[in-house]
Amino acid sequence: MNRIHLRLFTPTDDAVLETEDSLPIPAIESPEDIIPFERARRSVIFSGRFMPAVDRARLIHQNGTCPECSHQDIEPLELADSMISPRNRLPVPGTATIVGFHCNDCGTEWPVYEISCRKI
């Protein structure tokens, strides 16, 4: 795994000697202070743009049963970020980001990350 290191430098007036005809030359090279930082955890995004259709169908199938009432009248909750067709300027089905699911029988809603890996 690659780690990114942030390097901070503080230029001071004493550290740079300037002559009239040359470029600035550092007088004393001080050791670098390297502060490592961790990347943010990658969250799982179920965007239809970047997700194969098979994985999207598998996600909808895995969340096809309500965890509360066990009925199967489920609708995916999607953001309004689907791709727009250049031909008719309408949203392309299956390209929006799935953020959760809604049961039409009992009204329960659950986010994708809680239940998407569970086999029902």
* DSSP annotation string for 59-83: HHHHT-S-TTT----EEEEE-S-PP
- Cα-only R_g, the chain: 27
**Residues 60 and 104 placed together within one structural domain of the fold:** yes
Cα separation, 120 vs 113, in Å, equals 15
Report if pTM > 0.75.
no
Each residue's pLDDT tens digit, 56-84: 888 899 899 999 999 999 999 998 888 89
Whether 120 maps to a domain, the answer reads no
Whether 46 maps to a domain, the answer reads no
Q: Which residue has the higher pLDDT, 33 or 96?
A: 96
Whether 95 maps to a domain, the answer reads yes
**Residues 26 and 64 placed together within one structural domain of the fold:** no
The total of structural domains in the chain comes to 2
Q: Which residue has the higher pLDDT, 13 or 109?
A: 109
Whether 44 maps to a domain, the answer reads no
The mean pLDDT of 94-98, rounded to a whole number, is 86
Comparing CA positions, the residue from 97, 99, 103 lying closest to residue 116 is 99
pLDDT of the residue at 76: 92
The mean pLDDT of 28-50, rounded to a whole number, is 57
**Residues 60 and 31 placed together within one structural domain of the fold:** no
Whether 47 maps to a domain, the answer reads no
Domain that holds residue 68: 53-115
Residue identified by tokens 């089905």 is 93
